[in-house]
Homo-oligomer: A and B are copies of this chain.
Amino acid sequence: MLDYALLGFLNYGSMTGYELKQNMEGSTSHFWTAKLSQIYTTLKAMEKKGWVRSSIQAQKERPDKRVYTITAEGRSSLQKWLAEPLTELAHHKNTLLLKLFFAAQTDRETTLALLHLQKNLHQRQADFYRTKSRDLIQSIVQRSPALEKEVIFWEATRRFGELYEEMYVNWLDETIKSLEEKL
């Protein structure tokens, strides 16, 4: 799966593993991340499959770097993947819900503390999507009008984050209230 994320970026231009990581941090990281070590091994595997090829670029005063370029095969794999429909619901593990499910086996205060801490985290994250994340996308569209089409999609993924975190905070409020009443 990470292969396709990397192909998606490389289709915009050749890059090193290190640069791919940086690109992911600033964009897909909220719904797809990978450690550098995994990126490096995945790129190697992709080269073996013929999806990318690499060449070493010497640099003065900086370590040499290995620049990856997408191949025609890589492009067609990416296209094929993008065209494949998602026919099933994704299923996400959620530790908070797991703890909550068994929370009758612990005390009221522990559970309320758990929920309050989460509320704090999710509020900050909601705020991040509403401000920093939003501004970043706006600044891209101003600097690079050529990316107008991509920005539509990037904005859609940001908006998901915003709605998700708002829903989370609402649910936490509701749940906290319910426990305060019923326990």
Chain A residues at the B interface, C-beta cutoff of 8 Å: 1, 4-5, 8, 11, 27-28, 30-33, 78-79, 81-83, 85-106, 110, 113-114, 117-118, 121-122, 125, 149-150, 152-154, 156-157, 159-160, 163-164, 166-167, 170-171, 174-175, 178-179, 182-183
Question: How far is the CB of A120 from the nearest CB of chain B, in Å?
Answer: 10
Pair A86/B118 contact, Cβ less than 8 Å: yes
Question: How far is the CB of A99 from the nearest CB of chain B, in Å?
Answer: 6
Q: A153 to chain B: which residues have CB within 8 Å?
A: 100-104
- How far does the alpha carbon of A125 sit from the alpha carbon of B92 in the complex, in Å? 14
Give the contacting residue for A92; candidates B5, B81, B92, B104; CB below 8 A. B92
**Given known contacts A156-B178, A163-B167, A171-B159, A106 and B82 CB-to-CB distance under 8 angstroms:** yes
Question: How far is the CB of A104 from the nearest CB of chain B, in Å?
Answer: 4
What 7 new A-B contacts, CB under 8 Å, besides A85-B117, A89-B125, A163-B170? A33-B91, A83-B110, A87-B117, A90-B96, A100-B157, A156-B175, A160-B171
